[in-house]
Structure 1
Amino acid sequence: MTENPLNVVIVGGSLTALFHGIVLRRLGHHVRILERNTPSQQMSLGAGIAAMEHVQSFMRKYDETKTPYSVTSPDVQYLDQAVKVKSTWNFSIATTSWKILYYVMRANFDGFASDICAQPPQLAEQQGSATYEHGKEVTGVEYKDGLVTVKYRDTGTDSHATVHADLVIAADGASSRVLQTLQPHLQHKYAGYVAWRGIAPESEISEKTKATFACKATFFVYKGGYIVLYTIPGEDGNLSPGHRQLNWVWYNACPENSQEYFDVMTDVDGHRHRTTLPIGKVNPQNWDKQKALALKILPEPFAEMVQKTSKPFISAINDREIAKPSLFDGKLLFVGDALATFRPHVASSTNQAALDAQLLEQLLKGEITAAEWEAKVLAFANFTAVRSELWGAYYMSGVPTLIFVTTFFRYWKTVAVQALWRRLYG
């Protein structure tokens, strides 16, 4: 375990950064988070998320607020066009929202009070210090004489500054500026489809539709796309029926070189986006077309959800080569989406972030070596990436297709290689 407290800079201020910041502060280190966006910009990027096993284990261990944060879906159901249940999986899923987890984590990290956590826990001084700064855009990272130097720009004043760190955590997401600078060779590829996303208050949904969904994760699959819906806590964190929200994700095929793709990813100001077109920037004409399409092809409950959504946003689904997890003699670590991005079908982005943070604790305590840490984060990243591609091929292309078959064999090859590695090295 590290004897002296480290000065740690975390690049990025989303959930990945907060998971790691909490772990580091609890171990006695001094943590400074630099987030590029303003608070309002940051909130426009949030959505419903699944709280999978590593998120749940993280919350049990590190959440001192004990704030109820998720809704449990007892089953997964698939509907047909006539709103009849085609099949049901006996598989429960805990779901929440980015906003709620963010404010719960902020309360644990730096004692930030919000409407979600009005009375954050007292921060023990012996656990290290925590600073969270908005409007700080990291422009470069350098390594010399055992120290990492982080260069950043204040987006409000356009002034520039530097900070030295013993350890830097690159947690700035799928479009990581640090990653683009230090590992520019990584290949990106658009998967050929986009995800429209939205949320509607449970109170605005008809009783018939609420009864159909019944707090279950619900799918409708058709040729060339599918939509999934699940219940999340209310905007204020309320978990009571009638006060929650319904979150949906609708995947549409959209060829890369098509006019449709160009139009969909171009915002109201004429700017084209490569990854996410945020809330408030969707072209109203495109949204009207999507709502009309919903009425035409989706079962009535899903179509109602789309019509009742007032703040949609869009994500282009991309694949990216997995990054090298560690640079600068282990003093710069890539974690979460900066390390590996997954297609959202397997709901594992936040899960990866929580796992990476817990593995970092093991590394800093000396319970695992740097090589073991790297092997573990890469094992999860590689397996989850190919699994997410497999589910994408299944839903978007169908089982008999070449893309599904080739992805299927890559998936089982990954499973076999990792099983052999565990057998040989534990």
Structure 2
Amino acid sequence: MTGRLKRGRALVAGGSLGGLMAGAMLLREGWDVQVYERATGDVESRGAGIATHTELFEAFRRAGARIDDQIGSTLTGRTAFDRDGAEIGHYAHSQVLSPWSLLYRRLRETVPAAAYQSGKEVRCVHVGPGEAGLEFADGSKVEGDLVIGADGVWSTVREQMFPESLPVYCGYVAWRGLLDESSFDRAFGRYYGPLQSLYAEHGEQFIFHMVNGADDSLEEGRRRFGFLWYRSTDATSELPALLTDEHGVTHAHSIPPPKIQRAHIDHLRRIAGDLLPPQFAEVVRRTPRPFLQPIYDLRPEAIVRGRVALLGDAACVARPHVGAGVLKAACDAISLSQALKEASSIEAALMKYQADRVPECHRLVDKARHLGSYLEGTRRKGSSVPVLPIEDLLRDSGRG
């Protein structure tokens, strides 16, 4: 076959940001696209603050999503603090931080209701000569010309097509939280609002930042603060307890926020005063319901098999230190849509996509491992991995 590739039917497993970007781009290129999301509830509640980049905005434009002054709050720099709460370093760096929910809504507007189905949990992936299909937990099946696995860190598509490729626990977790700016006085919001604030010691790292309000507002007093508190957490003696809910059920890889035991949250609030600068300890104590994210990573050797391509966190899992989860999904979507636009066959396009994106997966995972290595089990006896210089953490974190 030569010449322009005939547009066919693309089946996208996963209706989060990566799946929406890929689906919207292919729709605009003339593909028949169907996006399938396993969740049936409030998808918008996922995530918190997202560090944006030029490439992410380019992906939004290609997807037909709105970009305007309300897309996020602009941070002017990064400041590090010591255990007593005093400034010890600053790096001037302008960056827009957007709430996950806002980005999701902007992208969801780009995919027609007829092309998006929720409550569709993928059970099987079918591949054959010149075709690919999906079977769902409800027994229904669909056939198409291409399957895009954009179904997250614990991707069913990856598990079936790349059983050798599994995320690995990194030895620490991130506690996350959101609270209203109105929880603090005006001076607090004005000082910390323009900053990404950082505290780092052995076994601990705390990041604090401003995002839009619950109604997407950027008006002073109506915004929200978000935090990430990375804590070294042993895989056998500590993590299973954190993943066990009030009913004694231990969840495999992560735990839904409403099911986190209240005792774990109470413990987090108690130890905050002993481990964090005073102003950040107070943030943790005031946050209504922190939630837990065990940190995993995955450095893949392949992301394409037959007419199946992985995208976003399904393809590669980089620790959050690089702030590149959504960025990488955006770049994946751009690369895939461009390859399908230029190639003469789906197979050739997917090979080009893989050759383009696997080296970038390796770069991101390696950089994230470098930034977070000191958190890996540093509270175990005899561990002495040094924290990177504060200047390096301020400069290199969250920049993809």
Counterparts of 1:62 and 1:178 in 2: how far apart (Å)?
23
Corresponding position of 1:348: 324
Of residues 4, 8, 15 in structure 1, which corresponds to 2:6?
4
Contact 1:45 1:278 in 2 (8 A): no
Gaps in structure 2 of 5+ consecutive residues:
388-400
User: What is the CA-CA distance between 1:3 and the residue it aligns to?
Assistant: 4.5
TM-fit CA distance, 1:84: 1.5
CA contact (8 A) 2:133 2:144 kept: yes
Query: Which structure is richer in relative contact order (CA contacts within 8 A, separation 6 or more)?
Result: 2
CA 1:187 to 1:370, structure 2 compared with 1: closer, same or farther past 3 Å?
closer
Q: Number of aligned pairs?
A: 376
Q: Helix, strand or coil for the counterpart of 1:109?
A: coil
Mapping 1:189-228, distance limit 5 Å:
189-228=168-207
| Displacement of 1:241 | 1.8
Deviation, 1:363, is 0.4
Match of 1:84 in 2: 86
**In structure 2, what is the Cα distance between the partners aligned to 1:80 and 1:207?**
23
Aligned residue type for 1:294: A
Structure 2 residue 369 is the aligned partner of structure 1 residue 385: no
Over the matched positions of the two proteins, sequence identity in percent amounts to 28
How far apart, in 2, do the equivalents of 1:337 and 1:277 lie? 18
Deviation at 1:189, TM superposition (A): 2.3
1:23 Cα deviation from its structure 2 partner: 0.5
- Do 1:19 and 1:105's aligned partners in 2 also have CA atoms closer than 8 Å? yes
**Gap change, CA 1:135 and 1:327, over 3 Å in 2:** same
**Deviation (angstroms), 1:144:** 2.3
- Corresponding position: 1:230 with 2:209: yes
**Whole-angstrom distance in 2 between the partners of 1:373 and 1:3:** 15
In structure 1, what is the equivalent of residue 312 of structure 2? 336
Please say which of residues 236-245 and 51-60 is displaced more in the overlay: 51-60
Aligned to 2:255: 277
Q: What per-residue deviation string (whole Å, max 9, x for no partner) do you get for residues 299-343 of structure 1? A: 122112112211221111112241521111xx2111111110011
| TM-score, length of structure 1 as denominator length | 0.83
Q: Give the secondary structure class of the aligned counterpart of 2:109.
A: helix
The answer to whether the 8 Å contact 1:274/1:316 transfers is no
Q: Which amino acid aligns with 1:363?
A: A
- The 3-state SS of whatever aligns with 1:195 is strand
For residues 33-90 of structure 1, the C-alpha deviation after alignment (integer angstroms, 9 at most, x for no partner) is: 11111133x3443222211232122234444433421111110110112221100111
Q: Could you tell me which residue of structure 2 aligns to residue 48 of structure 1?
A: 49
Name the amino acid aligned to 1:257: T
More deviation, 220-229/380-389: 220-229
Counterpart AA for 1:288: D
**Partners in 1 of 2:35 and 2:143 — Cα distance?**
13
Aligned to 1:73, which of 72, 75, 96?
75
Tell me if 1:315 matches 2:299. no
Conservation of the 8 A alpha-carbon contact between 2:25 and 2:62: no
Residues 176 and 228 of structure 2 are in contact (CA less than 8 Å); yes or no, is this contact kept in structure 1? yes
CA deviation string 1:128-150 (max 9, x = no partner)? xx511111011001122421121
What is the identity, as a one-letter code, of the residue corresponding to 2:338? Q
Structure-2-length-normalised TM-score: 0.88
Partner of 2:393 in structure 1?
A: none
Confirm or deny that 1:376 pairs with 2:378. Answer: no
In the TM superposition, what is the alpha-carbon distance from 1:271 to its structure 2 partner? 2.4
- The alignment status of 1:365 with 2:341, answered yes or no, reads yes
The Cα RMSD (Å) is 2.2
Q: In the alignment, is the contact (CA less than 8 A) between 1:275 and 1:317 conserved in 2?
A: no
Paired position in structure 2 for 1:300: 278
Query: Quick check: 1:325–1:339 contact (8 Å CA) kept in 2?
Result: yes
1:147-206 CA-partner distances (Å, limit 9, x unpaired): 1121012xxxxx311100111100001100111112112244211111100000111123
More displaced, 64-73 or 237-246? 64-73
Contact map agreement 1:323 1:338 (CA 8 A) in 2 = no
CA contact (8 A) 2:312 2:329 kept: yes
Say which is worse superposed, 4-13 or 57-66, in terms of deviation.
Answer: 57-66
Instruction: Note the residue ranges of structure 1 that are not aligned, 5 or more in a row.
Output: 113-129, 154-158, 406-426
Query: Is 2:145 the partner of 1:166?
Result: yes
Kept in 2: contact 1:45–1:279 (CA 8 A): no
- The one of 32, 35, 50 aligned to 2:34: 32
Q: Match for 2:275: what amino acid?
A: I
Separation in 1 of the partners of 2:301 and 2:225? 34
Amino acid at match of 1:134: S
For 1:64 and 1:138, the matched residues in 2 are separated by 27
Alignment of 1:114-133 (within 5 A): 131-133=115-117
**Is residue 149 from structure 1 mapped to residue 133 from structure 2 by the alignment?**
yes
Native 8 Å contact 1:226 1:396 kept in 2: no
* Among candidates 12, 17, 20, match of residue 19 of structure 2: 17
Which residue identity is paired with 2:298? R
SS at match of 2:6: coil
